Structures are given as C-alpha cells and as structure tokens.
Homo-oligomer: A and B are copies of this chain.
Amino acid sequence: MEPYILYYWPTIQGRGEFVRLALEEAGVPYRDVARGTKQGMAQLEAALDFAGEPQAAFAPPVLRAGELLIGQTTNILLFLGARHGLAPRSEKGRLWCNQLQLTIADIVAEAHDSHHPISVNSYYEEQKKEARARSRYFRAERIPKFLGYFENVLQANPARGNFAVGAKLTYVDLSLFQLVEGLRYAFPKTMMQLAPQWPRLTALCDMVRERPNIAAYLRSKRRIPFNEDGIFRRYPELEKN
C-alpha cells in the first residue's frame, strides 16, 4: 500500500491531530506532507484548489488514500476507523462512533471560539474582551455539559474495558484523549477543579496515553507541542472570572 498523505498545517496540532492519533495508533505509514518543506505547503494548498482537484476540500485536514481525497476530520476518521479496525464492524456501532466524534467536533469548535468569538480572520488581541466573556461561559457551562455527557457515555457502555464504544479501542477514545489534553492545556485550573466529576474519562485518557504506539508518538518529534496558534490556547486571562 502506498503511504497515506496527510495535508495539514505544519506548526499546530489543530484538527489534524485527531487524524494523526488514529494513523499512529493504527501504525500505518503516512506522510505529514506540509511539515518542513515549502513544496509540502504548496501540495496542501493544491488539495484545496478546484483547479486540480474536482473534490477539493474547504479546509484542512485532508487525507489522500490512493485515489480518494478525503476532507473533514470526522469524515477522515469514519474512513480510517472502518479500514484499520478502529471502529466496530456493525452499522449500529459505526453510527454511534460517528455520532460521538461529531459531538467531540462540536466542543472542539466551541473551544476554538472561546479565543476567537468574533472572527477567525482577526487577531485574538482584537477580540480579547469578547473572548473573556465567551470563555467564562465555556468554562462554567459548556465544558461541564460536554465532558459530563462523555462520562455518561462511558458509564452507559455495557461492555467491559472502559472504552467509549464496545469492548475495543476506537478512534473515539483517541479523540477523547486529545480533547481532554487540549482542555487541560488551555484551562488548567478549571480542568483540575472539575476532574472529580469524570473519573472514567480520566482513566480513559491514562489508558490511551500508555498504549505503545501512542506513547511512542507522544515522545517523538512528530508530536507538535500545544501552542498559541492552535485550537487549544493557554491565555491565563481567559481563565479569570
């Protein structure tokens, strides 16, 4: 099999990280093509351009898999999950995975808007006041509601093993790990304070972190550290009341 090609911004985890984690766990070869070369950035831009691609994507991440060019994070994971045993085989299990991943995507978008509530095309500094208002609400109401929901998902799963879906690891578990890690980076005090509300989710994150392929990835240079250009940003003023 020729390696997958991942087109994503080279200096951030961002939405691409949900895809990277699935590729790393599956242990399949891929080229994170925009990292380190100008040529790679040009290839990323070409994946968004109808001049050469009849199915150009609106935005990264985009994955090339042979003749397929696949955009949208949850869509890429739907594809990878089915192909690499990171999702159940049954229709019911697949739909449930996709539903949970879409719910993760919803809170990820809200986490982004906590520092960019007015416009993605303007600097954070230009919308700082509004970001404080939105972050206050995000911390007080949205984080508890979403993570409380995922805790309930884990509790309601009748299978053993503390996975989100069934009795085996799926891409949803990897994404829940990334979500919680990101929120811990952006809002450390809030997450520390609320953590007792979701013991199963905390245990799930510990389990994902220790999986051999994930542990090796997290130690490698392929894992870009969190930073203030990504989705999860640490601005201490956004954690003040």
A50–B130 touching, CB < 8 Å: no
B134–A50 touching, CB < 8 Å: no
Scoring A residues 47 to 84 as 1 if CB is less than 8 Å from chain B, else 0, what string do you get? 00010001111100000000110111011001100000
Which chain B residues border A98 with CB–CB below 8 Å? 72, 75, 78
A positions within 8 Å CB-CB of B = 50, 54-58, 67-68, 70-72, 74-75, 78-79, 91-92, 95-96, 98-99, 102-103, 106, 109, 113, 117-119, 121-122, 130, 133-134, 137, 141, 146, 149, 152-153, 155-158
* Cα distance, A103 to B59, chains bound together (Å): 9
Partner of A50, one of B56, B75, B79, B155: B155
B102–A119 touching, CB < 8 Å: no
* Cα distance, A13 to B58, chains bound together (Å): 26
Q: A50-B155, A75-B95 are in contact. Are A58 and B103 (CB under 8 A)?
A: yes
Least distance between A90 CB and chain B CB atoms (Å)? 10
Which chain B residues border A149 with CB–CB below 8 Å? 58
